């Protein structure tokens, strides 16, 4: 008689030879220029980069975006022109037309290949034109598309002031009488002592990750309920209001693709990183808040009841996806968090493809994924870094999942083979953080399932099959 072998208790990782099958990371400009309202982004690349930006951000044609292309021509690439003079001319034009508080140079693949010294040029230009210039390398050779934001925030982390610098600046303003002028006519704030009484005494906490303003408000209020005061966000709505960062301050990330920013904050600014699952889904949000509370020695209040209430409100969506399978092809580095949440919703995940995996930064998320699979009694998914799309399509054909979350390039071919798909990029731009936005995640996930179910009820699936046969 033989004993049954126990199921594996550890996540299985693999790395294939595929490239990053994602958008170019310069697409981060799309959401960052809207988030940082006094910024201007200058993308330095070829006409191909310009065509991509025009197409990727064409939906914002009426918004008058604050970004531009500095196109490299044959003369630049063969070193016949003076890079400094050309960039200075562009920066002076930007200052004259827009007068931003910061100019962000976005380096592309071309600037990497020709070894353009943007970091060397920026300080000289900054001194001449009198506007801060931040340099971020966001080339598609090294990064998946959401990691473009990571390089920008890592560069901005160096510019965050210290308490001593802020105090010195405040003293200067006070001497010049500027502060009195700025505060003239403003509504009087509440008593600072009464406001501080709402919070526990804890070290400074800064949250990093570009999220929409409603998410900033929601997460700040969630922490306020626990008596935790948020010292600032990176990035802020205005570059001139970057958060104060001192040695020993605590930082925590909002998204799993910000590992470079986390490393910069720890190594360069000497901050302490709180390693927590990411606040995606009610389970992740609760774990995220609980981890912050535990680090500060605070007993969390009402989180269990809050999470239970959210799950109860999601039941109409859960009934649609419970027992179904979802496959992640890998695109935006949100795959681990989304898979963990969907497993908690009752789905099964045979495989998670992800362009890049930082096991240290996502350690808490991976631990919660393992715990979630154990709690739900489902098998652990296999995690494939840099997946080869050809191999993935073979595995999808073999497993026939109910839904595939994929990049746009593969959505139509999979739909033609009768497999439901959802664009992963939609999760990048949707509001998915916090307790209340779990419903938005499930709205996106269930939409293709509900749509195709309705088509089957109308008999359209039979018509499509007949046309395909003809």
Report if residue 153 sits inside a domain.
no
C-alpha dihedral (159, 211, 233, 330), degrees to nearest 10? -70
Cα separation of 123 and 111, whole Å? 17
Q: Which residue has the higher pLDDT, 196 or 273?
A: 273
Is the per-residue pLDDT at 416 higher than 70? yes
Last residue of a domain, one of 283, 299, 315: 299
Rounded to a whole number, what is the distance in angstroms from the first to the last CA of the chain?
A: 55
Name the residue with tokens 């969390």.
Answer: 300
- What pLDDT score was predicted for residue 7? 42
Name the residue with tokens 């016949």.
Answer: 80
State what percent of residues in the chain have pLDDT above 70.
85
Q: pLDDT tens, 262-295?
A: 999 999 999 999 999 999 999 999 999 999 999 9
Shared domain check, 428 and 327: yes
Q: Which two tokens stand for residue 422?
A: 């959802």
- What pLDDT score was predicted for residue 170? 65
DSSP strand E in 46-132: where?
A: 67-71, 102-107
Report if residue 166 sits inside a domain.
no
Q: Which two tokens stand for residue 438?
A: 């779990």
Residue 112: closest CA among 82, 90, 86, 143: 143
Report helix, strand and coil shares of the chain as percent, to nearest 5.
50, 15, 35
Shared domain check, 407 and 277: no
Cα separation of 208 and 254, whole Å? 6
Shared domain check, 372 and 437: yes
Is the per-residue pLDDT at 57 higher than 80? no
Report if residue 10 sits inside a domain.
no
Residue 159 CB coordination number (10 Å): 13
Report if residue 328 sits inside a domain.
yes
- What pLDDT score was predicted for residue 470? 45
3-state secondary structure (DSSP) of residue 407:
coil
Shared domain check, 359 and 385: yes
| 359 — pLDDT class (breaks 50, 70, 90) | very high
Helix or strand run (H / E) with residue 408: helix 408-416
What average pLDDT does the segment 127-155 reach? 92
Burial of 59 (0-12, 13-18, 19+ CB in 10 A): exposed
The enclosing domain of 60 has a CATH number of 3.40.50.1980
Last residue of a domain, one of 139, 174, 208: 139
| 433 — pLDDT class (breaks 50, 70, 90) | very high
What average pLDDT does the segment 169-195 reach? 53
Shared domain check, 326 and 275: no
Q: pLDDT tens, 233-245?
A: 999 999 999 999 9
Report if residue 238 sits inside a domain.
yes
Last residue of a domain, one of 248, 280, 299: 299
Report if residue 337 sits inside a domain.
yes
Shared domain check, 442 and 314: yes
Report if residue 240 sits inside a domain.
yes
- What pLDDT score was predicted for residue 309? 96
| 82 — pLDDT class (breaks 50, 70, 90) | confident
Shared domain check, 285 and 317: no
Report if residue 158 sits inside a domain.
no
- What pLDDT score was predicted for residue 190? 47
Shared domain check, 291 and 385: no
Shared domain check, 312 and 461: yes
Is the per-residue pLDDT at 106 higher than 50? yes
Shared domain check, 324 and 451: yes
Q: pLDDT tens, 284-327?
A: 999 999 999 999 999 999 999 999 999 999 999 999 999 999 99
- What pLDDT score was predicted for residue 437? 96
Is the per-residue pLDDT at 100 higher than 70? yes
Shared domain check, 293 and 355: no
Is the per-residue pLDDT at 160 higher than 80? yes
DSSP strand E in 194-287: where?
A: 205-208, 232-234, 250-253, 272-273
Shared domain check, 309 and 295: no
Cα separation of 279 and 438, whole Å? 10
Helix or strand run (H / E) with residue 385: strand 382-385
Residue 7: closest CA among 257, 429, 370, 270: 370
* Average pLDDT value for the chain: 87
| 13 — pLDDT class (breaks 50, 70, 90) | very high
Count Cα neighbours of 416 within 13 Å in the Cβ-side half-sphere: 9
Q: pLDDT tens, 364-394?
A: 999 999 999 999 999 999 999 999 989 999 9
Is the per-residue pLDDT at 178 higher than 80? no
Range of the domain at 321: 305-469
For residue 122, give every residue at least 6 positions away whose Cβ sits within 8 Å of its Cβ, in sequence order, or none: 105, 133, 134, 135
Please, are residues 66 and 98 in contact by the beta-carbon 8 Å criterion?
yes
Q: Report the domain count for the chain.
A: 3
């Amino acid at each position: 008689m033989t004993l049954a072998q126990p199921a594996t208790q550890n996540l299985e990782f693999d790395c294939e030879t595929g490239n990053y099958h994602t958008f170019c990371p310069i697409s981060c400009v799309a959401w960052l220029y809207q988030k940082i309202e006094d910024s201007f982004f200058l993308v330095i690349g070829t006409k191909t980069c310009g065509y991509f930006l025009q197409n990727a951000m064409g939906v914002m044609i009426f918004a008058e975006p604050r970004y531009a292309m500095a196109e490299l021509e044959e003369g630049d690439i063969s070193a016949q022109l003076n890079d400094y003079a050309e960039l200075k001319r562009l920066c002076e034009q930007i200052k004259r037309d827009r007068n931003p508080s910061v100019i962000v140079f976005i380096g592309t693949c071309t600037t990497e290949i020709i070894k353009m010294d943007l970091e060397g040029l920026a300080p000289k230009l900054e001194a001449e034109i009198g506007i801060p210039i931040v340099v971020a390398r966001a080339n598609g050779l090294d990064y998946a598309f959401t990691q473009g934001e990571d390089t920008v925030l890592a560069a901005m982390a160096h510019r965050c002031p210290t308490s001593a610098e802020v105090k010195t600046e405040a003293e200067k303003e006070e001497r010049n009488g500027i502060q009195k002028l700025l505060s003239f006519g403003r509504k009087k704030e509440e008593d600072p002592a009464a406001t501080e009484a709402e919070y526990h005494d804890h070290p400074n906490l800064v949250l990093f990750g570009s999220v929409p303003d409603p998410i900033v408000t929601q997460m700040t209020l969630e922490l306020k309920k626990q008596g935790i005061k948020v010292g600032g966000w990176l990035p802020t709505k205005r570059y001139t209001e970057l958060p104060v960062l001192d040695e020993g301050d605590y930082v925590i990330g909002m998204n799993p693709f910000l590992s470079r920013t986390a490393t910069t904050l720890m190594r360069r600014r000497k901050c302490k990183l709180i390693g927590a699952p990411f606040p995606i889904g009610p389970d992740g949000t609760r774990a995220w808040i609980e981890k912050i509370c535990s680090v500060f020695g605070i007993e969390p209040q009402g989180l269990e009841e809050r999470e239970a209430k959210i799950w109860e409100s999601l039941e109409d969506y859960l009934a649609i996806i419970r027992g179904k399978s979802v496959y992640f092809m890998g695109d935006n580095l949100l795959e681990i968090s989304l898979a963990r949440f969907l497993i908690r919703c009752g789905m099964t995940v045979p495989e998670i493809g992800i362009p890049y995996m930082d096991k240290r930064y996502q350690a808490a998320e991976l631990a919660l994924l393992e715990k979630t699979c154990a709690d739900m009694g489902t098998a652990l998914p296999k995690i494939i870094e840099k997946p080869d799309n050809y191999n993935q399509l073979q595995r999808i054909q073999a497993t026939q999942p109910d839904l595939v979350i994929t990049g746009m390039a593969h959505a139509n071919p999979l739909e033609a083979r009768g497999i439901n798909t959802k664009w992963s990029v939609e999760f990048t731009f949707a509001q998915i953080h916090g307790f209340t936005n779990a419903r938005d995640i499930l709205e996106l996930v269930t939409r293709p399932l509900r749509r195709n179910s309705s088509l089957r009820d109308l008999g359209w699936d039979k018509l499509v099959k007949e046309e395909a046969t003809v």
